[in-house]
Structure 1
Amino acid sequence: MSADTLRAAGHFRKSRGTLVAVVIIMAIILLMLFHLIFGGKPARTGNPPQVVSAATATLGDMPVILNELGTVTPISTVTVLPQLSGYLTDIGYQEGQDVKKGQFLAQIDPRQYEINKLQAEAQLAKDQASLDQARADLARYQQLHQQKSIAEQTYIDQTFTVAQDEAAVKADKATIAQDELNLTYCHITAPVDGRVGLRLVDPGNYVTASSSPGIVVITRMKPTTVQFTVPQNSLSQVLQRFNAGNKLPVTVYNSDDTKQLASGTLYAIGNQMATSTGTVTLRATFANDDELLYPNEFVNARLLVDTMKQAVLVPTPAVQSGAPGDYVYLVNADDTVSVHKVTQGPSDGKNTVILSGLSAGQTVVTDGMDRLNDGAKIKIAQAKPESGTAPASASSSANTPHHGDKRKHDSDSASSNS
């Protein structure tokens, strides 16, 4: 072969090798692009699922309760005031003692009023004698008048004299009655049953009619009432039940809401709405036999308005609030979760009513939601029974994991992600 032919053959082989190299490089580039475009999403499936706790929505009864701040208000609180003036000579009660209506409390010096009564009785005797004489004269004048032996005017004047003496006698009797009443006022008694407070004035002091602060304050301890307010948005439901004749139970707890003090019933609703707060005052009555409700004490009142029957219930931690509104993480059949918007109703702290958006039997996440999002893979943790707990109760506690389980789940999840 000639030299020109050899050079042409070598040039052809070199061009073909370059073309093959270019094709191989392009193929590698295409494979890399394909891996980046179509291989990125499947790689995410390798992430470990989020460990969560879950519970199943159930049907049950939910009480509709209004929790309000209230004040213990006695049925009667009476400040005993003196009705007249005088020196206080005696006290007939012990501070903090229970007294009955009519029981002796205090004594005002009665001597001045006894003297006034004696003077009034003397004046009555004098006026009564004058009346008797005037009547005797009138009887004689009447006979003479019939015989035409005296002037007509003399007879009429004597009639007026008798009327004047009769009026004087009546005035004297009224004065005596007033003196007797004053003597009664000197002997101060309890106007109502109740418990007396601390002594407000000591014996030896000069008191005057209606002087402040009075002799003592008597407070009715039992039965007693509790006043509390409800917002106007809740009033219509209360009125509907109350006006229908239903006895709405009210339970009272102490100020820190840790101990139940008493149970009673609602018996009165105020007739005006407070414009400044948009609330109306309600009053409930309690027997208070153990006297745990103390006058003017602040308490927490729980009014049971109604009971929702066969409502959809989920554990309260399952309901979240955010941009979509109220929502839950619904557990799907493929072990993923989806954000499910719901409308929540009343809650008792442990469970919450779902008015719409969820059905009984559906499973929702109750714990471990801090790193969840729509479509995330999950793994439902199995709650471990507590020590000393019967196996039968272990399954029921699986829907409500304890705080220790939550910390363990978060730790497992963190170690899996690392």
Structure 2
Amino acid sequence: MFWGRVFLIVGVLFLGSCKKKSELAESDPAFLVTAVKAIQKDAPLYLEAIGHVESIERIKVMSRVEGELTGVYFKEGDYVKKGDLLFTIDPRPYEAKLKFAEGTLAENLANLKLAQEKVLRYTTLVQEEYYSEIDYRQLQTTAETDDALVKKAEADVEDAKINLNYCWIYSPIEGKTGILQIDKGNLVRANDQNELITINQISPIYVTFALSEKFLPTVQKYQCKNPNLPVNVSYEDFKEDTFKGFLEVVDNQVDPETGMIKFRGKFDNEDKKLWPGLFVRTRLILDTIKDAILIPSEAVDYTQNGSIVYVVNKDKTVDKRNVKLGQRIDDQIIIISGVEKNEMVVTDGMLNLYSGAKVQLQKTEKENEPL
């Protein structure tokens, strides 16, 4: 009887203990987390670098003649077309030089005509020995000298015309003017090192960037499929202000000091937002990855055993999974294996998580942000 009571008491205590443990387990608090769905869509395969925006043509406008700057026919920062008048240099000294050269030419032409007439007149007399051979040769020499003077005078006239035309300076390209380096009324020197103005061609425009030589075979491989590989550039974020162009040139040598090779993309730049001298994020698009799985990059935890993510199950517990990562695209990353489309991955609150841990979704986004 005594032992029966003892066993009864022990049994009651045991059942009570099990009940308390069960209640404690059920009452374990869930971890507050944020999760989003993995999405499946086409994603670009690209190489990224820092690019430098450069004008296709950059012209320093200088004067070829010396004189007073008498006219400026644009405002600083204006867009000008090829052939637009930019400056005038005082033409009066060069007009005078042209008139002088033309007068000298006329004088030499008159002398040549007279000398040729004398040679013609005395030719018969020399043949009939009525005129000295020596004097006749002197007449011929005079005619030849006058002919040479005429040619020299013609060259002087042509040179004077060229210099006179240089008094009107026209834009050699279409582009945007910069800051004027000399004001109207100042003396301009011929071929001075200081330009009058610099004109940059804005549209189209180049972006030059460099990649490691190890990527050259990869680029060449994809160029065989598409010679004009797309090139995209952006100031900072490719989600805004993305400019699209194409690869125009791959340099013909690798820099032996840096092991880098230069690439150059060409952009229409019709809206003129790309500015010479800018540094921009540049992506050389090699191909498109079909039906790629993407998740936010903050969902990936990097450990000594590899990259892991926490996937939320339907029962609000999580699985700790190893994943194989692909290319990172802005704030997203491609998952090669380990996560399937529409599975929920934890992006915030995973510090103390473990496999089987209960979670409470603090914020759930229906879909990951698109590319």
Q: TM-score range by the shorter chain?
A: 0.7 to 0.9
> Following the alignment from structure 1 to structure 2, what is the Cα–Cα distance between the partners of residues 200 and 338?
66
Give the match for residue 324 of structure 1: 305
1:209 to 2:190 alignment: yes
Contact 1:315 1:366 in 2 (8 A): no
Which residues of 2 match residues 184-195 of structure 1 at below 5 A? 184-195=165-176
Within the candidate set 362, 366, 386, 2:346 is matched to 366
Give the match for residue 8 of structure 2: none
1:69 to 2:13 alignment: no
- Which one-letter code corresponds to 2:280 in the other structure? V
Give the match for residue 179 of structure 1: 160
Shift of 1:208: 0.7
- Bigger drift between 217-226 and 47-56 goes to 47-56
> Following the alignment from structure 2 to structure 1, what is the Cα–Cα distance between the partners of residues 25 and 206?
65
The alpha-carbon distance between structure 1 residues 236 and 189, as it changes in their structure 2 partners (threshold 3 A), is same
> Following the alignment from structure 2 to structure 1, what is the Cα–Cα distance between the partners of residues 318 and 168?
85
Structure with the largest fraction of helix: 1
Shift of 1:311: 4.3
Shift of 1:363: 6.4
TM-score normalized by the length of structure 1: 0.70
1:379 to 2:358 alignment: yes
Contact 1:261 1:292 in 2 (8 A): no
1:224 to 2:233 alignment: no
| 2:254 partner SS | strand
The alpha-carbon distance between structure 1 residues 114 and 237, as it changes in their structure 2 partners (threshold 3 A), is same
Identical columns (%): 32
> Following the alignment from structure 2 to structure 1, what is the Cα–Cα distance between the partners of residues 151 and 129?
33
- Which one-letter code corresponds to 2:230 in the other structure? P
Give the match for residue 108 of structure 1: 89
Contact 1:251 1:260 in 2 (8 A): no
The alpha-carbon distance between structure 1 residues 264 and 155, as it changes in their structure 2 partners (threshold 3 A), is same
Shift of 1:149: 3.8
| 1:378 partner SS | coil
CA RMSD of the aligned region, Å? Answer: 3.6
> Following the alignment from structure 1 to structure 2, what is the Cα–Cα distance between the partners of residues 314 and 49?
27
Contact 2:30 2:360 in 1 (8 A): no
Higher RCO structure (Cα 8 Å, ≥6 apart) = 2
Contact 2:119 2:136 in 1 (8 A): yes
- Which one-letter code corresponds to 1:174 in the other structure? A
> Following the alignment from structure 2 to structure 1, what is the Cα–Cα distance between the partners of residues 78 and 122?
67
List runs of 5+ in structure 2 lacking aligned partners. Answer: 1-20
- Which one-letter code corresponds to 2:358 in the other structure? K
Which residues of 2 match residues 276-295 of structure 1 at below 5 A? 276-295=257-276
> Following the alignment from structure 2 to structure 1, what is the Cα–Cα distance between the partners of residues 146 and 253?
58
> Following the alignment from structure 1 to structure 2, what is the Cα–Cα distance between the partners of residues 82 and 147?
61
* 1:76-112: CA deviation from partner (whole Å, max 9, x where unpaired): 2211101011122222222222222222222212222
Give the match for residue 389 of structure 1: none
Shift of 1:194: 1.9
Which residues of 2 match residues 141-152 of structure 1 at below 5 A? 141-152=122-133
Contact 2:35 2:363 in 1 (8 A): no
1:306 to 2:284 alignment: no
* 1:112-148: CA deviation from partner (whole Å, max 9, x where unpaired): 2222222212221221122112211221232223334
Within the candidate set 269, 272, 276, 2:253 is matched to 272
Q: How many pairs were matched up?
A: 344
* 1:275-324: CA deviation from partner (whole Å, max 9, x where unpaired): 45443332222222222222323332233221122445555344332323
| 2:288 partner SS | strand
The alpha-carbon distance between structure 1 residues 174 and 208, as it changes in their structure 2 partners (threshold 3 A), is same
Contact 1:109 1:186 in 2 (8 A): yes
Shift of 1:327: 4.4
Structure with the largest fraction of strand: 2
- Which one-letter code corresponds to 2:92 in the other structure? R
- Bigger drift between 208-217 and 362-371 goes to 362-371
Larger Rg computed on CA atoms: 1
Within the candidate set 106, 120, 128, 1:125 is matched to 106
